[in-house]
Amino acid sequence: MEQWSWPPRYDDDYRPAEGAKHWFPRRETMPARQRDELILARIKDVMDYAWARSPFYRGKWEEAGIHPSSIKSLADFEKVPVVRKEELRADQAENEPFGSYLCVPPEEVKHVNGTSGTTGRPTAFGINERDWRSVANAHARVMWAMGIRPSDTVLVASPLTLYWGSWGAYIGAERLGARVFPFGAGVSGQTTRTVHWMKQMGVTVFYATPSYALRVAEVARTEGIDPAELGVRKLFFSGEPGASVPSIRARIAEAFDAEVYDSGSMAEVSPWMHLGAAADEPGVLCWQDLVYTEVCDPANHTRVDYGNEGTPVYTTLERTSQPMIRLLSNDLTRWEAPSIERGRTYPFLPRGIYGRIDDMFIVRGENIYPSAIDDVVMADPEYGGEHRIIISRESIMDTLVVKAEHRAELGTDTRAWADRLAGKLRAVLGVGATVVPVEQNTFDRTAFKARRVIDDRSMLHQLRAEEAP
């Protein structure tokens, strides 16, 4: 396979011919079974490496009675216990600052990224130069598959903070040889400036969260600029469901008159674009030779058959600083078997990642994902741009309320619209929802990942707990 070595070593001068479809044709198109053999060998290398260097992994595996030498097949690998994010956080608290899963001397760490830390202790990602380069190479490769080329100007319109998303897109675009425009996001008044800079700089590729792309389109229109006239030819996304949610995807594609690509997994397993689309269609491929993805039963963490739903469990095959070996995502997806019909022999997630297991709620026995509600609401032509999903509890029953902005300028009957939308929600979700229409611009817009669910039930629980003697 092309440039396939452990530890990874990439030729930073390599780039395919402009017209080439694949960055590494052999790695991307070889029979999946053959690739799996090489992946198994690599998994053993990575496990040996972590066993020798990381008290975190060694302790965990010893406790489970597992030695790297006992892994003789990918089925054996399913017995390796998963790593939970809480374990990483706890290990880091005990072994400041990078945790005992850091496998290189701390002096070798040259880049620090991290979680936002809005809930709980933040986790630091310590990255050495080798990993930084292999992430750049991996991302360039996936972006190449999206059709991004050196002649493009790539706008990074997500926060240039500790968030890996922005930097991963930045170094990938840079490695690919494109012009990178790191405008960022999240500063007051920035979106208006983004629109004008996009026009001025001739941005052809846009990276952000799907929510923010819709916001940029909205602000462009208020500035008297049709987003479709901005000259963007491709938009790629990560961070939240959206780019594979049909109505959100269609809204973005129509607004910018451009192609939409989904990508993204978790910061811990960067290259996070190892879940990345290779065509202008919903869904992502699992680029298994970068990060080995197993879609697993959330109860026992063994692989589910193709065609089924499960939670992704990730193993980095190129990271040397903080390798992740069976990191549990707690997201939900469905996977399909590799097929050369898609141009690359990787498993496929046809709807991308459609939500976090924790974000799912149950109303009258139906499992509901916020992204399913977003899909219905955003498909409506009278939808005004933002909404909130409120789950509350009256007596013992959970109820669902969707407050949605209505486009008053259309002059249509707001009440009738709300009833119609409630009907559509019932048809898709299988349970009734009360739709409360509100004026446009009632809700804050986000420059990052949208948080639309308000769970009143937890407030109720909290009140009850406080009332209790």
Site for ligand 8LH in 210-239 (CB under 6 A): 238-239
DSSP string, 185-246: --STTHHHHHHHHHHHHT--EEEE-HHHHHHHHHHHHHTT--GGGG---EEEE-SSTTTTSH
Taking Cα atoms as reference points, which of 111, 213, 101 lies closest to residue 157? 213
From the list 87-95, 142-150, 256-264, 456-464, the region that binds ligand 8LH by CB under 6 A is 256-264
Q: Which residue lies nearer to ligand 8LH by CB, 240 or 382?
A: 240
CB of 134 to ligand 8LH, least distance (A): 16
CB of 67 to ligand 8LH, least distance (A): 30
DSSP string, 36-51: HHHHHHHHHHHHHHHH
Q: 230-267 burial string, b = 16+ CB within 10 Å, else e?
A: bebbbbbbbbbbbbbbebbbebbbebbebbbbbbbbbb
Q: Which residue lies nearer to ligand 8LH by CB, 183 or 417?
A: 183
CB of 311 to ligand 8LH, least distance (A): 10
Residues in the chain, how many?
A: 469
Tell me which residue has its CB nearest to ligand 8LH. 264
How far is Cα 314 from Cα 100, in angstroms, rounded to an integer?
19
Out of 264, 384, 385, 437, the residue judged to bind ligand 8LH by CB under 6 A: 264
CB of 449 to ligand 8LH, least distance (A): 7
Site for ligand 8LH in 146-175 (CB under 6 A): 164-165
Out of 137, 204, 329, 399, the residue judged to bind ligand 8LH by CB under 6 A: 329
Binding flag, residue 241, ligand 8LH (CB under 6 A): yes
Q: 438-449 burial string, b = 16+ CB within 10 Å, else e?
A: beeebbebbbbb
Binding flag, residue 331, ligand 8LH (CB under 6 A): yes
- Cα-Cα end-to-end distance for the chain: 66
Binding flag, residue 266, ligand 8LH (CB under 6 A): yes
From the list 5-13, 173-181, 192-200, 261-269, the region that binds ligand 8LH by CB under 6 A is 261-269
Residue 253: both structure tokens together: 């594609």
Site for ligand 8LH in 55-114 (CB under 6 A): none
Binding flag, residue 295, ligand 8LH (CB under 6 A): no
Site for ligand 8LH in 332-371 (CB under 6 A): 352-353, 356
Q: 16-53 burial string, b = 16+ CB within 10 Å, else e?
A: eeeeeebbbeebbbbebeebbebbbebbbebbebbbeb
How far is Cα 110 from Cα 67, in angstroms, rounded to an integer?
31
CB of 452 to ligand 8LH, least distance (A): 14
Binding flag, residue 311, ligand 8LH (CB under 6 A): no
Phi-psi region of 380 (alpha: psi -120 to 50; beta: other; left: phi over 0): beta
From the list 19-27, 262-270, 340-348, 457-465, the region that binds ligand 8LH by CB under 6 A is 262-270
Binding site for ligand 8LH (CB under 6 A): 164-165, 238-241, 262-264, 266-267, 272, 329, 331, 352-353, 356
